[in-house]
Structure 1
Amino acid sequence: MPHITANGIELCYETHGNPRDETILLVMGLGAQLAHWPIEFVEALASKGYHVVRYDNRDIGLSQKMGDAKPPKLVWQLLRKRIGFPMAVPYTLRDMADDGIALLEALEIERAHVVGASMGGMIAQLMAIHHAERLLSLTSVMSTTGNPRLPQAEKRAIEALTAPLPSMEEEAVIEHGINIARNITGPGFPADPEARRKRVQALVQRSVYPPGLPRQLAAIIDDGDRRSRLAQVTTPTLVLHGEDDPLVKLEAGKDTAKHIPGAKLVTIPGWGHDLPLDLVDRMVDEITGHTRSVSTAQSVSA
């Protein structure tokens, strides 16, 4: 699998489709690898005439690990933030956004449609805030503004996500991943247990790196409330959110669309905080409908 240096970081990435077509850059979420984007979803986007790039964020998957940075003590860092002191984080969400833009530069891609899921949506938002000239469009999927007044995640979902691994034995890690998936899936798109196990097993066999998660989580907390910054976004934006998301509640998607000028909000009943195969066609239709409308409008204005 290819690696490339971007923003001083070795990033692992994949490309699908014709590089002469418009690019869709996929940005994944907290502790998640590029392979969390289902290959069926990636190939469906490519079949619609797009060059699709997906990559591992820093500190996860097969990209460079920030092993010299100790995982932050999140309780202490939260206390510092609440009393008005800056958090001491190994890197920021802005750094991660810069990674994605630098990846486009390294691949000689001038502009791209950017699709980010969960933390990846936050990173994509920061790309639109700080690198608007590099984005054709933005799609923020099951993400949030960082507004502290939004409803909190359901207890079962946050406990599953943050539970420590009992051991690094493969079967224990697989069971841990299955428990996370079970607790963030929406009621409208239940997963086949055997298919879910195979998918989690493939992810575990690709890479397991627990220290990256608390460092990425610290970057999320440090970035805080983006509402005032999102008001500056001029990139055409689509917001996709599940109506039954137990981790990043529906109100967060509504808040995202509310604070990005002109954003379109699409909510889907029964969808949780995952990318179920039964939703691939719907998601691809929504995303490519958005990207095509943007490209058409830009062609007309030109």
Structure 2
Amino acid sequence: MPAGDRFAELPAGPRICYRAEGPEDGPALVLIAGLGLDLTSWPQRLVDGFTGRGFRVIRLDNRDAGRSSRIPQRSPGRLRLLLARPRPGAYDLGDLAADTVGLLDHLGVERAHLAGMSMGGMIAQTVAARHPGRVATLTSIFSTTGNRRVGQPARSTLRYLARAPARTAAESAARHLALLAHIGSQTLPPDAGLEHAWAKAVWERTGGRLPGVPRQISAIQASGDRTAELRRITAPTLVVHGDEDRMVHPSGGRATAQAISGARHVEIPGLGHHLAPGVLDRLVELTTELARTAVPSKTRSGGIP
């Protein structure tokens, strides 16, 4: 088993894989990954930055990704995805948010700081809207509201999303680098060597199990426009986006910040849809600054296992 991986059997059904790092008595910070990504998509340098600031950092594999449960539901076909017509009974962002809250229950965390990127930002938003007592602060990174008039991917990006799944570790790594060349940035470029090694490590960590990306896309579509729900969020909120994002248009970040009362909106010049090395220290600073505005998060007796 990869170092640090632990599992929580949730009452609702999914088996969620997670890692917890940092001081056991530190305020809990939950990092929620994006579409098809596993918990290691949060760079270790970022995690170390947060633990160095005293946070207890919790990362999880969402259902249908990483080493968490694959949901035994038929995947939507390409036509359903294009028409945004989820299958009856398909899970939605509310179910993914319930998984996050279930993990907090498993770990004995009463309140946590939440940070999510892309689809993970949507999940974090949903937790904050539906479980306000569990959320100390919210950081939404290159995410959107579900309103189809904002935050849409570029047409060129859709071609990458429509490709058939990789069949080998080498093919997976090559496709990851090709996607990064498209959705990343020349101003804030990725570390190609690090990204290649990461993609191969993800393949090895999951045994080549493919993530349920079509079902996760369907979950986003099934949730529709969440703007009205976002208006119910009361947690101090930070919205971070890049002005060169081809996966989630910057209008999605602007709409998110407009929907959440008092939200701070930071649009980073040159940032694409990727946690580039050149932005990690700033994300740590911004999220830590936000956390200082909130009442300290708590754990139940025994802390985080």
Q: Do they superpose with TM above 0.5? A: yes
Q: Corresponding residue for 2:7?
A: 3
Percent identity (aligned): 36
| Letter paired with 1:215 | R
Q: How far off its partner does 1:195 sit? A: 2.6
Q: Which runs of 5+ in 2 are unaligned?
A: 297-305
SS of 1:279's partner is helix
The 10-residue stretch of structure 1 (173-182 or 136-145) with the greater mean CA deviation from structure 2: 173-182
Contact (CA 8 Å) 1:14, 1:54: kept in 2 or not?
yes
Q: CA deviation at 1:293?
A: 1.9
Tell me the equivalent position of 2:301: none
- The residue that corresponds to 1:194 in the other structure is 193
Q: Tell me the amino acid that sits aligned with residue 195 of structure 1.
A: L
- Distance across 1 between alignment mates of 2:81 and 2:157: 22
User: In the TM superposition, what whole-angstrom CA distance separates every residue of 1:79-126 from its partner, at most 9, and x where no partner exists?
Assistant: 475xxxx75253111000000011001000110000011000000111
Instruction: Describe the superposition over 1:116-158 as per-residue Cα deviations: whole angstroms up to 9, x where unpaired.
Output: 1100000011101111110001111100001111253123323
- Of 12, 17, 34 in structure 1, the residue corresponding to residue 17 of structure 2 is 12
In the other structure, the counterpart of 1:183 is 182
| SS of equivalent to 1:293 | coil
The aligned residue for residue 116 of structure 1 is: 116
Are 1:240 and 1:253, in contact at CA under 8 Å, matched by a contact in 2?
A: yes
Paired letter, 1:54: R
Write out per-residue CA displacement over residues 15-41 of structure 1, whole angstroms, 9 at most, x where no aligned residue: 011121110001111000000000110
Question: 1:95 matched to which residue of 2?
Answer: 95
Residue in 2 that maps onto 1:299: none
Report the Cα distance in structure 2 between the residues aligned to 1:194 and 1:236, rounded to whole angstroms.
37
5+ residue gaps, structure 1, are: 297-302
Q: CA deviation at 1:279?
A: 1.1
Trace 1:261-272 onto structure 2 (pairs within 5 A). 261-272=261-272
In the alignment, which residue of structure 2 is the partner of 1:71?
75
Whether the 8 Å CA contact 1:18–1:50 is kept in 2: the answer is yes
Q: Which is richer in helix?
A: 1
Matched, 1:219 2:219: yes
User: Structure 1 residues 88 and 78, CA, compared in 2 at 3 Å: closer, same or farther?
Assistant: farther
1:151/1:289 CA distance change after superposition, 3 Å = closer
- Structure scoring higher RCO (CA < 8 A, sep ≥ 6) equals 2
Does residue 206 (structure 1) correspond to residue 205 (structure 2)? The answer is yes
TM-score when normalising by structure 1: 0.91
Q: Distance in 2 between matches of 1:77 and 1:270?
A: 30
In structure 2, what is the Cα distance between the partners aligned to 1:192 and 1:123?
A: 27
Given that 2:30 and 2:112 are in contact with CA atoms closer than 8 Å, whether structure 1 keeps it comes out as: yes
- For residues 80 and 256 of structure 1, do their structure 2 counterparts lie closer, same or farther at Cα, with a shift above 3 Å needed? closer
Distance 1:185 1:79 in 2: 27
Bigger mean CA offset, 104-113 vs 148-157? 148-157
Counterpart CA distance in 1 for 2:245 and 2:84 is 30
Using the alignment, how far apart are the partners of 1:33 and 1:281 within structure 2? 21
1:286 is the counterpart of 2:299: no
Number of matched pairs: 290
| Equivalent residue runs for 1:122-133 within 5 Å | 122-133=122-133
- In the TM superposition, residue 170 of structure 1 has moved relative to its aligned partner by 2.0
Contact 1:78 1:87 in 2 (8 A): no
| 1:194-233: CA deviation from partner (whole Å, max 9, x where unpaired) | 2321222222222243350000000001111011111111
Cα 1:141/1:89, change in 2 over 3 Å: farther
Structure 2 counterpart of 1:174: 173
Q: TM-score, normalised by structure 2?
A: 0.90
Does residue 162 in structure 1 map to residue 131 in structure 2?
Answer: no
Letter in 2 for 1:2: R
Instruction: Give the CA deviation at 1:294.
Output: 2.0
- 194 and 257 in structure 1: CA distance in 2 versus 1, 3 angstrom threshold: same
Q: Is 1:12–1:55's contact at 8 Å kept on the other side of the alignment? A: yes
Q: Distance in 2 between matches of 1:247 and 1:274?
A: 10
Q: Residue 61 in 1 paired to residue 94 in 2?
A: no
Alpha carbons 1:80, 1:87 under 8 Å: kept: no
Q: Counterpart in 2 of 1:24?
A: 29
Conserved? CA contact 2:143–2:151, under 8 Å: no
